[in-house]
């Protein structure tokens, strides 16, 4: 287990806990979110995580805010596992930078769905006006289905509703 953990009276609202929970529920293979046991096993068993050893119980304490100050090695290992900057977990990023990280996470989740990826890739090489027409058509379908004009979190580049389809490819958060 990692050393250097402390308790905080405000622990339940820890930015670290919030961000970890977001990553656990968002960045996972299609089907089910990661478990603390799976992430602990992957990190503890992988040299690419710097030889860090964490337990399922320690991850649980980080996620529920009972521990709020993990070692830098643990933070680096978690950031590497979920493929996010360490500053995101530390809370060192500005709100706009943190939102950008979360936007990229939503994009990666959306791109796991083979159907979404197929639509995106088929538009590559088409003239901008044709891509604009496709965007208009998709917007019309969204409106007909009483969906919001843009998926939640879509701020320009790419957004997704966080759901990976049944045909999505499995990834484990590593690059």
Query: CB of 39 within 8 A of CB of 24?
Result: yes
Average pLDDT, the chain: 79
| pLDDT, greater one: 5 or 140 | 140
Side-chain-facing half-sphere of 30: CA atoms under 13 Å: 13
The pLDDT value recorded for residue 40 is 96
In degrees, to the nearest 5, what angle opens at C-alpha 25 toward C-alphas 150 and 63? 130
Say yes or no to pLDDT of 34 above 80: yes
Q: Indicate the Cα dihedral angle 34, 36, 41, 43, nearest 10°.
A: 80
Contact 97, 86 (CB under 8 A): no
Average pLDDT over residues 17-32: 87
Q: Which residue has the higher pLDDT, 136 or 4?
A: 136
Domains in the chain, CATH or no CATH each: 15-93 (1.10.260.40)
Give residue for tokens 């090695």. 73
pLDDT greater than 50 at residue 6: no
* Helices assigned H by DSSP within the chain: 15-26, 36-45, 56-64, 72-82, 86-90, 95-111, 114-122, 128-144
C-alpha to C-alpha distance for 158 and 107, rounded to whole angstroms: 5
Task: Report pLDDT digits (tens) over 102-156.
Answer: 888 888 888 877 888 888 889 999 999 999 999 899 999 989 999 888 776 555 4
């Amino acid at each position: 287990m990692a050393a250097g953990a402390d308790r905080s009276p405000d622990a339940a609202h820890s930015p670290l806990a919030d961000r970890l929970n977001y990553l656990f529920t968002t960045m996972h293979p299609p089907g089910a979110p990661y478990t603390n046991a799976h992430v602990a096993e992957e990190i503890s068993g992988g040299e690419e995580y710097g030889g860090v050893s964490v337990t399922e119980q320690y991850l649980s304490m980080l996620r529920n805010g009972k521990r709020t100050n993990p070692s830098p090695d643990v933070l680096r290992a978690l950031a590497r596992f979920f493929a996010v900057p360490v500053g995101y977990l530390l809370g060192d990023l500005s709100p706009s930078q943190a939102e950008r990280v979360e936007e990229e996470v939503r994009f990666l989740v959306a791109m796991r769905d083979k159907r979404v990826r197929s639509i995106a890739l088929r538009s590559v090489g088409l003239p901008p006006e044709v891509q604009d027409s496709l965007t208009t058509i998709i917007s019309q379908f969204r409106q007909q289905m009483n969906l919001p004009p843009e998926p939640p979190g879509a701020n320009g580049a790419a957004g997704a509703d966080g759901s990976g389809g049944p045909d999505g490819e499995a990834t484990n958060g590593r690059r």
